[in-house]
Chain A
């Protein structure tokens, strides 16, 4: 757009707009004045310090169900831990350097320890196996402060739907619902009773509100079966495997429930990706993007300040400009004109095997 001539009058009168002219003059004086005394950050004030990571130690470990262990994590010097609310998770840095998120499953009122429960997944990325095999009472760990991607809003009627280990964030919600006298139900689904953790703790809250539905006894439930447990107008909180969540989302409209809460995990797994190469600037360094990682992930290692947000190709925050190469656009945001002008969203877009994308970075 034209940034030299101030915009015309709003009502078509033949003169530049007075208000715009005054604003422009104000802006042209204000910007360069910033930095002078009184119009700057007090230079004697120290810079804000980053929040340090939490230092934790495993204080207890117990087996909860087949393949599930629970860890209590406490401050090694016995101090109180930062508070949290139901639905919050902890990002743990394991001794191997792996980072993993686990929902907090204890009682938020207990500030002496965090509780997490971990199912052993031999086919997974190795984090759960490392926890099962190497974390014992006394092991030191670091973690980020609890953050909440699944907040509990305490609606008057709630249905908590747990798939297997997905019960972990729902247990503190059930406790809070019971404490506040809400009309709550919890349905826990899984293969068999011996695989379901926390059955006793849930039943201790109110046995009539907790239902176990195991595949070996009742068959695999449909989403409609699960949602039929909802009180009219209830809010559903669902945590379980992705197919369960998708089915519940689809079936919600025909159920007595009116609201659905779930934890959103940004990036979807990459389907049909091939390895390719990114080059940062025409003569810049080359980065290899493996088939199972996004271009954004690889770019962020080289450029930690690169902005991004949705990881799914719809918000456009991570847009970069292409200098050469043929991209495979997989976003839902860019218009054909923007693509023709070289815009690419590296959070989802890729390239054919062996191709090199040269980016203006």
Chain B
């Protein structure tokens, strides 16, 4: 049984931003055999709101990988290309790690497939390749999707930063393996938080592109999350459909430190629209990299 790993404290002057990091995927492993259905004990609502991640991320991150592979030939800078390649590898591993949890949910009698089928349709059909576009339109579609991803990555870094600073989850005795998954993933999101934004600006520095990315991705993500939480609470065989998610309840759970504050999350989305925004302004690389050096899953990967 892995121990719960508290996020290490940092000395005050640690660099919040690390320049020009070399990004590489980590070959993590998790053992889900003993994961309880409500892995935050007695907190089904908080558990399932966070579980929406496992519904969205496998398909979503595979789509990131596909879009970024298509963007590679458009990149004109060697360092950015290397960062994008590191990003692709990390996202590919994230997708598989969350897929394992999804498979585990099914084994516990919660069938996620109706929702996952919709997510797959969204990423493969709605946001997938459109046949019959000429080269210029195809190129514009690739850049537009990179802008969607840059906006989503703003939220993943926000959530990652929250996961690294969420002692409420430790207090509630959340499952240590799941906490390690959330914090390992969150730390890599903070580690690579600039890549999608830098790629977007490299391909199109226009402000309109950035705004469109957030205008489409932000509301869609919020809506998918609410739908996902409602779906999981309804599909949970132990709850018999008694629990319905409400914003008021989410706010109360957030006050106990088990979810990010909903209002704070939306404010964070608006910060993305500030003209001088850059992802390095949020979160701490030192904290993220410090966690990765202690994470049981990342350390097991390093040991080979």
Contacts and interface: CB of A to CB of B under 8 A. Distances in A.
Interface of A: 1, 3, 6-8, 10-12, 17, 19-20, 23-24, 26-28, 31-32, 34-35, 38-42, 45, 47-51, 83-85, 88, 144-149, 151-156, 180, 182, 233, 235, 246, 249-250, 252, 258-262, 264, 266, 305, 307-310, 312, 314-317, 332
B252 to A, nearest CB: 26
Given A7-B117, A310-B24, 5 more contacts: A10-B115, A20-B121, A20-B122, A50-B78, A153-B289
A34 B290 contact: no
Contact of A309 (B8, B88, B234, B294): B88
Interface string B1-19: 0000000111101110011
Most B CB contacts (10 A, CB to CB) among A3, A7, A153 go to A153
Interface string B118-129: 101110111110
Contacts, number: 205
Interface stretch (B35-43, B99-107, B152-160, B198-206): B198-206
Interface band, chain B: 35 or more
Interface string B214-232: 0000001001000100010
A133 to B, nearest CB: 29
B290 A155 contact: yes
B140 interface: yes
Contacts of B89: 309-310, 315, 317
A153 B290 contact: yes
Contacts of A252: 299
B241 to A, nearest CB: 10
A259 B21 CA distance: 19
B24 A309 contact: yes
A50 B77 contact: yes
A4 B234 CA distance: 28
17 contacts: A1-B120, A1-B124, A39-B140, A42-B204, A146-B20, A149-B21, A151-B15, A154-B10, A155-B10, A250-B303, A309-B85, A309-B88, A309-B92, A310-B24, A312-B27, A314-B93, A317-B92
Contacts of A233: 8
Interface stretch (B65-73, B165-173, B271-279): B65-73
Secondary structure at the A interface, as helix, strand, loop or mixed, is: loop
B225 to A, nearest CB: 13
Contacts of A317: 65, 69, 85, 88-89, 92
B79 interface: yes
B133 A31 contact: yes
Contact of A153 (B14, B208, B220): B14
A148 B144 CA distance: 30
Contacts of A1: 117, 120-121, 124
Contacts of A47: 76
A156 B11 contact: yes
B141 A34 contact: yes
Contacts of B77: 48, 50-51
Nearest to A252: B299
Contacts of A26: 126
B118 A20 contact: yes
B121 A6 contact: yes
Nearest to B82: A147
B20 A145 contact: yes
Given A8-B114, A10-B115, A19-B227, A38 B128 contact: no
